[in-house]
Amino acid sequence: MTGPYPDWDMADLEGKYRVHKLWQAEDKDALVARHSGAIRAIATRGELGASAALMAKLPKLEIVSCYGMGTDAIDLAYARANGIRVTNTPDVLTEDVADIGIGLLLAVAREIPQADAYVRAGNWRKANMPLVTRVYGKRLGIVGMGRIGKAVARRAAAFDCEIAYFGTRKHDDLPYDFVGDLVDLARGSEFLIVTLAGGEGTKNIVNTEVLAALGPDGILINISRGSTVDETALLAALESGAIKGAGLDVFWNEPRIDERFAKLSNVVLQPHHGSGTVETRKAMGQLVRDNLAAHFGGQALLTPVA
């Protein structure tokens, strides 16, 4: 295991397998070398992944089971080339991540954290808080129309938002407008919610040009991967007022995020906690364990990636 899981998952895994806890080892290379001939599976997390270098040290490796939907930190090319199966935990976290996307949008637009601080500080006794931004009926662009993007769209529709989206293709079964150019989507949106998968293909796809098109009344929400947004450009846009604000659950160098974010009043920050509910984390861990059990039981994997 590259990193810990919740206690309920650890207890089950340790009851069924011999678990080598890489994160606890003072000398990680020595631990891997000592057990390389016996390790048949890696249980990892989305942000930790499994590199080609690690997998290459495990000649008996058969499967990498990922606690999380994103597999961009797993070298899938190496896994496929070497017959190593890879699984993840899609679907079970979709609704919670969509919830936090809408929650962040409301928090930024309605300035909910600032309002809380305003009341706590006693400022309400002196004057009414300045007016904020409505979410109802606004133009909302979704960057990536996969499972989470569709779940966000369903929620935004309940706010009577005018929804458009950018992605790899048009979905004929959806009632929303498809925009094939991300800059054009940003230009036509007041809110932009990023739900794309990570990886080289989407790295820094939200860049200076996209943020400039979103404009000084625009709000950016990122619930995808920190790699999808050019953070240098985002920080410059937030500091200069080139966009109105941002709600961020993910960051480029998390958890050691750029300290400038903490100094900004027009950004709401989350610790990559979109799937961080008891219900979803239990379902994610169960799916990891079910995939491992299926593999070692000679059955079809539940959620294969490779």
CA atoms within 13 A on the CB side of 226: 21
Question: Exactly one of 95, 162, 209, 254 is catalytic; which is it?
Answer: 254
Judge whether 191 and 223 are in contact, CB under 8 Å.
Answer: no
- Does residue 187 carry a catalytic annotation? no
> CA angle, corner 24, sides to 34 and 287, nearest 5?
95
Q: Which of 45, 85, 111, 272 is catalytic?
A: 272
| 254 flagged as catalytic | yes
Q: Which of 45, 85, 190, 225 is catalytic?
A: 225
Residues 107 and 124: their CA atoms lie apart, in Å, by 19
Helix (H) or strand (E) holding 248: strand 245-248
Identify whether 272 is a catalytic site residue: yes
b/e map 71-101, b = 16+ CB within 10 Å: bbbbbbebbeeeebbbbbbbebbbbbbbbbb
Q: Looking at 59-146, list the stretches that DSSP marks H as alpha helix, in order from N- to C-terminal side.
A: 76-81, 94-109, 112-120
Active-site residues: which are they?
225, 254, 272
